[in-house]
Structure formats: C-alpha cells, structure tokens
Amino acid sequence: MTIIGKLVSLVSRRTLRAEGHVFAITPERIGIAEGIHAALAMAPMLCAAAILGRSDIAFGAVAAFWNCLCDPQGARSQRLKAMAIFTAMGVVVMPLASYAAHWGYAVSIVTLFVLVFLCGLTRSYKPSLGPMPAQAGLVASLAVVIGIASPEPLAVALAHGGYFLLGSAWTMLFCIFLWPVPFPQSAGFTLATIFGRLEDMAGFLETLDSRPGMDVQGWTEFDTVHRRGVRMSIERGRALAAHDVRNGPDLGPGVDAAGRVFSTLIAIGHARRNAAIADDDGLRQLLQGLRQLLQSMAAQAQQELPIADTLLAQAHALLRQTAERTDQTASAVAFAARAIARLADGRHALAMDPETPTPAAARAVKIERLVWDHALRVAVASVLAFMIGTSLSVTFAYWGVIAAIVVTQPVSANTWLRVLERACGSLIGATIAAVLLTSLSGPVAVTLAILPLAAVTVALRLVNYGLFVVFLTPMFMLMSDFIHPAEGLIVARLTNEFVGACVGVAASFLLWPPRESNALNAVISAAISANMAFASAALRMAGGSTAALDRLQREAGLASSRLEVARERMLLEGQRRSARLEQLRNLTVAVRVVCGAAAVIEVLRRGEPDAHDRERANRYDEMTATLLEALTSREAMQLNQSFETPADDLEQAIQHLVTAFDSYVGTV
C-alpha cells in the first residue's frame, strides 16, 4: 500500500483548490477493498448468465453492483440497513415497472412518473463534505428505468425480480457476513492527506511576507484556498472516524490533533500578518521545525505505521525551542507540538470530541419541501427524456432517462457541474467501450471485462464523479450489450447523454427552481453566526475549554467554506462581473479574518477570562443579531462610528467585518 499511499498524498496536494466543489477529488477515499468486493459479488450471477446462456440472470449482477454503490461502509448494522432498504425498493419497483410496461406506452409513461416520484421522496439533500455513497432512493429510481426498458409478462417480470433479489441477498451475505474485510488503509490515507495539507499550509505560510499590507493576494489565498482545503479534509476524516467503528479508534485522535495544529497555523498567520516587525531567524526556524514535524506525521500515516519514538522526540525538541521565547508565534507552535506529543504518547491519547456527530436516532418521518419539489422535478424530467428518446427511436432510450435523473440537481449550478462531469466522463468512457466492443467476442470475454471495470468503478465512487463515470460508462455499455445485444452503442450512448443533459438542465432551471437569493442569504447568515459565535466563545471560555472551542471553530470554518463555494457556483452561472459577488468575496474574507483573530485568543489564552472579555462577548452577540436583521431588511448597519480605537486584532477584525457587510448590503 506504500505506493498507493504516495499516489494518494501526491494527488491530494495537487487538488487543494477543488475542495468544496461538486467536482472535488478526494483520493484518500479510494476503496480498493470495496472494488474487489463488488467484482466478487457480481461474478457468480454474471458467470452463471454467460455459462448458461441466460442473459436475464445478469439482472442479479446489476443488483449486486447497485448494492455495492449503496453500501455506506461503517458498522455492520448501518450497512445492512442501507443495503436492505435498497433491496426491498428494487425488488418491488423493477418487476412492477417491467410488468406495467408490458401494457403499452401510455401505461409505461404513467408508471415511470409515479415510481420515480415515489423513489425521489425517500432521498435527502443535507449538506455533505464531498462525495458520499449513492442513496437507495436514487439507485431504486434507476431500477425503475431498467424495468420500463424491459417490458415483460407478469411471470417473466417476477423472474427478473427474483434474480434481482438473489443478487442483492448474495451481495449482502458476502460483503457483510462472509468476508467483512477491514479497511485500515482508509485511516492511513486520510491522516496522510490531512497532515500533508497541513505541511503545505505551513510551507505556504513561510513564504508569505509578514509585513503589514504586503503580499495581499498571498494572504487572501492562505485565508481561503488553504484554510478551506485543510478544514474540509479534517471534517471528512472526522466523519469517517465517527461513522466507521473499525477506523475510529485510530483515526479519531489523529484528526483531533490535526484540528489543533490547524488552529495553530491560523493563529500564526494572523499574528505574522499583523506583526509590527518582520520575523527573525528564530521564528523562521520554529516555522521550519513545525513543517518538518508535520512532514514526519504525514509520512508515518502514509506508511500505515504507529507513531515512532523519533517523532515524539521531534515534538519535544520543538517544545524546548519554544520555551526560550514568549512571542505569539512561539506560543502557537508550542500548542501544536503539545497536541502531536500527546497523540504520540499512548498514555495521553486525545479523545474524540464528544459532540462529534453520530448517526441520527430514528424519528418520525418528515418529508421536507425541497424533497417534494425535487422528486416531482426528477419525475417530470425522466418522463420527458423517455418520450424524446422513444420518439426519436434512439437505441437504449432509457440511458437518456438515467442521465436526466442523475443530472437534475436541486441547485441549478450543481446541474451544470454534473453535466460537465458526465460529458467528459462519458466521452472518455465511450472511447474505452469502443475499443472493448470491437476486440471482445463471446459472453465469457465480456464477463471478464465487466468485472475489473466494476471493481475500478466502485473503488472510485467516493473519489470523483467524473472518474467514476469514465469507468461506469464502458461497464454499463458492456452490461447492456450482454443483456440486450444491439448495434451502434457508442452513438446511442452519446445521443442519450445529450438528451438527458438537455432535459436535466431545463428541469433544474424551469421546474420550481429555488430562490437563489434566499438560499444565499441563508448561507451568509450561517457564516456570520458561526464565526461570531466562535469569537464570543473564545472571549468567554477559559484556556482549557479545548473541545468546545474546537467544535465552534469547526462549525465556523465549514460555514465559511459553504459561503465561498456558493459564491463560486454563482460565478459558474455567468455572473463574473457582478459587483455584488466582488463584495461577497470581501465579506467571505472578513469572516475568515474574524475566525483567525479568535483562534489567536484560543491558542494563546491562559487562565480565566476577565469581566472586560465577557462584556465584549455579549456585545458581539448583540452585533450578530443586528447583522442578521440587517441582512434580511437589506439595510446597511452604519455601525462603524460605534467602534472605538480597536484594542486588539479581534476588535479590528470585527470592524472590518461590519465594513465589508455594509458594502455588500449596499450592492444588493
């Protein structure tokens, strides 16, 4: 795994700027074992179909592949529940759709609409950090389309459902019970990615000019690109640790230590940017020592080795260097070195934040308005794509329906990105398929090509959607040709992708589109609230309140990242010259600066806060409420005159936030 670990580390450092986007690449989530699972789960049904000459048995292999896509990994009970829900839905909707299609075109249209709509009601659209496993409702809607494309009498439709059930049941038995392969490399890859990015962040910090007002562009990149990239990789690691009981004990303490190092780098950056004098040689040596320590941590995690004594000695040496200084940078470096030293010493391993999100307990089913609207939007899009494809007599018209279902997104900007990813992935994948279709002969050869393609597809499902489509396309085309042989598959694939993309884009923009202004205001409100809450807490809480402050800083960082991504998605919609978006960029930087100034207080504070700090915290809470009210009313605060000469960096940052907020509201 060392070679793969090095590749993961290299790719993760090169894809920092893509963080937070639909097209983000998360190489640490490569699932080699999951891919092998998928190939082995599909093999029995696919081999039986090839040997017996019964192509309909391959429906079981399709079910096995889809089950692997729905597998969330983690605890056995969670995996079993997710896969069982999809199996139950697929076994019902696929034969029902197949039998309904047997009664004619009109019945097919009605059935397609109703079943896709009902499957859509089971989906959710909560904010997520990067790609996640496919939800059962989405994949079940694809099973509906496959059923509609295979009209059969009741007995044959039930037989197809039986093969589907057999393939799903075998997959659950094999993947969860017979061969529950542990996935230790996920923890190693994740920690290597996080500490590698922290090392890059520290290295970038070294290159920045510490004199006030110098290298403005570089400091802006530090506050946005680097902080967003590191924050989101940390949160993916935290989610994986909470979700996967096998990785949690190893991964959780490492992610917590990384979070404290992240706070350190933010604090150092804030202190250096506002320093009255340039760094001396001693400070530069401290920064170099911290970067080397992070480099050692990344290398250790990359090789999946326990923390060595040499790394612990390296942390203690850095602590001895900081003991000779009293400046802010030295205190911050000591904060990071202590976090890594405690991680390296098993007797003082860091505990997971008790407020780390855990799987939600069962509660009453409530379908949100967004889910209703999008389920209806997708159902209409699927019907339109099917009608267009069949009216044009396109081969495998159901491919266009599947493309429309996948492309149509609740947020219109996401639809454009999904179309782009599918277009690029399908073009490359169709080229691979063309080579395979012209060189393979016989069902056995096709089977031997499908299985490795399925393995790579599942292994990349959480890495990047475009890469996923590159390998999904030839696998899906070979599988379709295996079940229903036809000519002109390449042209059919590209034509159907075009039809599905056009319908998906039209549906996203024309059918009940959400009000972008309301959505943007919600993201701005969340960013201001979270960052101001962290600033207030940093003033109120004692130096030992690490877990609570970590949680608040995490929420502030995520809210700021979502605001940045919302702005960049608006840029993709053609609003590049908007003065409003330029002021929004300034507002985003301003909330980041507030977080950085508060992090300085968190890292450097010793002892209890005084009455003045508590009074400031109360004032910031009142100011937050006023800001949010002004955002709703779209009236500038005009509070600049209420500030006295700033007493510290946090007060300056708050004043800058109010100024940036007034400028933004003035452009709305």
Q: What is the mean pLDDT of the chain?
A: 82
Q: What is the rounded CA–CA span in Å between residue 219 and residue 208? A: 7
Q: Which of 353, 317, 355 is nearest to 338 (CA)?
A: 317
- Predicted confidence at residue 18, as pLDDT, reads 67
Phi-psi region of 638 (alpha: psi -120 to 50; beta: other; left: phi over 0): left
Q: What is the rounded CA–CA span in Å between residue 665 and residue 636? A: 6
More confident residue, 59 or 602: 59
What the block records as the tokens of 601 is 């207080």
Q: Which of 487, 73, 490 is nearest to 241 (CA)?
A: 73
b or e along 344-374 (b: 16 or more beta carbons within 10 Å of the residue's beta carbon)? beeeeebebbeebeeeeeeeeeeeeeebebb
Out of 297-301, 351-355, 533-537, give the one with best mean pLDDT: 533-537
Lowest mean pLDDT among 152-166, 195-209, 340-354: 340-354
Please check whether residue 405 is in contact with residue 159, taking contact to mean a CB–CB distance below 8 angstroms: no
Q: Which of 146, 141, 168 is nearest to 483 (CA)?
A: 146
Phi, psi (rounded to 5 degrees) for 516:
-65, -35
Question: Looking at the domain 184-348, which fold is it?
Answer: Methane Monooxygenase Hydroxylase; Chain G, domain 1 (1.20.58)
pLDDT digits (tens, 9 = 90+) for 503-543: 988 998 888 776 656 678 888 999 999 999 999 998 888 75
- Predicted confidence at residue 356, as pLDDT, reads 40
pLDDT digits (tens, 9 = 90+) for 431-444: 999 899 888 888 88
Q: Using a CB cutoff of 8 Å and minimum separation of 24, what contacts does 210-218 make? A: 210/272, 210/273, 210/275, 210/278, 210/279, 211/275, 211/278, 212/273, 212/274, 212/275, 212/276
- DSSP single-letter state for residue 350: P
Q: What is the rounded CA–CA span in Å between residue 51 and residue 187? A: 40
Please check whether residue 463 is in contact with residue 29, taking contact to mean a CB–CB distance below 8 angstroms: yes
Please check whether residue 383 is in contact with residue 375, taking contact to mean a CB–CB distance below 8 angstroms: no
Q: What is the rounded CA–CA span in Å between residue 452 and residue 447? A: 9
Phi-psi region of 240 (alpha: psi -120 to 50; beta: other; left: phi over 0): alpha
Judged against a pLDDT cut of 80, whether residue 181 lies above it is answered with no
**N- to C-terminal Cα separation, the chain:** 52
Q: What is the rounded CA–CA span in Å between residue 493 and residue 402? A: 11
Q: What is the rounded CA–CA span in Å between residue 358 and residue 240? A: 10
Fill in the amino acid letter for 133.
P
Q: What is the rounded CA–CA span in Å between residue 551 and residue 47? A: 51
Judged against a pLDDT cut of 70, whether residue 197 lies above it is answered with yes
What's the Cα-to-Cα distance from 625 to each of 595, 637, 661, rounded to whole Å? 18, 11, 13
Confidence of residue 624 (pLDDT cuts 50, 70, 90): very high
Mean pLDDT of all residues in 61-87: 88
Our CA angle for 374, 379, 383, nearest 5°, is 150
Q: How many CB atoms lie within 10 A of CB 667?
A: 12
Q: How many CB atoms lie within 10 A of CB 40?
A: 18
Tokens 């989906």 belong to: 123
Question: Who's near 633: CB < 8 A, 6+ residues apart?
Answer: none
Please check whether residue 200 is in contact with residue 263, taking contact to mean a CB–CB distance below 8 angstroms: no
Question: From the DSSP assignment, how many helices (H) and strands (E) are in the chain?
Answer: 25, 0
Tokens 């299609």 belong to: 101
More confident residue, 167 or 263: 167
Length of the chain: 668
What the block records as the tokens of 645 is 């000469």
Q: What is the rounded CA–CA span in Å between residue 55 and residue 42? A: 14
Out of 174-178, 584-588, 600-604, give the one with best mean pLDDT: 174-178
Please check whether residue 334 is in contact with residue 267, taking contact to mean a CB–CB distance below 8 angstroms: no
Confidence of residue 228 (pLDDT cuts 50, 70, 90): confident
What's the Cα-to-Cα distance from 497 to each of 119, 254, 484, rounded to whole Å? 22, 43, 19
What the block records as the tokens of 656 is 């800058």
Please check whether residue 451 is in contact with residue 35, taking contact to mean a CB–CB distance below 8 angstroms: no
Dmax over CA atoms of the chain, in Å, equals 84
Is this model's pTM higher than 0.85 or not?
A: no
pLDDT digits (tens, 9 = 90+) for 123-159: 766 543 344 556 788 899 999 999 999 999 999 999 9
User: In a 10 Å sphere around its CB, with 0-12 CB exposed, 13-18 middle and 19+ buried, how is residue 124 labelled?
Assistant: exposed
Q: Which of 360, 362, 409, 598 is nearest to 514 (CA)?
A: 409
Question: DSSP per residue over 412-426, as a string?
Answer: HHHHHHHHHHHHHHH
pLDDT digits (tens, 9 = 90+) for 450-496: 999 999 999 998 888 889 999 999 998 999 888 888 778 888 888 99
Q: What is the rounded CA–CA span in Å between residue 522 and residue 543? A: 32
